[in-house]
Amino acid sequence: METALRYATADDVPMLRLLAEKIWWPTYAEILSKEQIRFMLDKIYDEDKLRLQIENEEQTFLILSENNVSIGFTAFSADQENPQLMTLEKIYCLPEMQGKGYGKLLINTVETKAREAGKSILQLYVHRQNKARNFYEKLNFKVVKEVDRPLGKFLLTDFVMEKKV
């Protein structure tokens, strides 16, 4: 089994969108309405928006593949207001690939990128009811606050989690 990580390019946008579609429905079906999932997929994974994020380097996307098949991705960005902070924007693996250590590989890679960029804190947002919180806690992330953020007509209810890198 060959595992590889590579930087995403604008050519990868349709594949990122497809992965998000395959991952989001089973991941969020128990905690978000179908209407909210559809809204967020259309907003966050709009192909033009993703293309701009990649081309303008607003977020750095890494694609994870197993045997040359894309199975997950992550995206991260440097915080413009806090020079010590790197934000983990996205981290997703196909449901059938979860539990194989790929999430940890993605997190470790982003931690390395954060250290290389001179950052000392890695931060992420996770829905308060998302089971992934346990995964993050096993990797030494700590809840530092709760936030409610409006997005369209929906309210995102998240934990902000951080760890030192």
Full domain range(s) for residue 108? 3-164
CA-nearest of 83, 40, 81, 75 to 58 is 75
Q: Quick one: pLDDT at residue 80?
A: 83
Please tell me the distance from the alpha carbon of residue 90 to that of residue 8, in angstroms, as a whole number: 13
Look at the chain and report how many structural domains it folds into.
Answer: 1
The torsion angle over the Cα atoms of residues 23, 29, 34 and 35, rounded to 10 degrees, is: -80
Torsion angles phi and psi, residue 138, rounded to 5: -65, -25
Q: What is the pTM of this model?
A: 0.94
DSSP state of 103: H
41-68, pLDDT tens digit by residue? Answer: 999 999 999 999 999 999 999 999 999 9
Looking up residue 29, the CATH number of its domain turns out to be 3.40.630.30
Radius of gyration of the chain (CA): 15
Summarize pLDDT for 27-42 with one digit per residue, the tens: 999 999 999 999 999 9
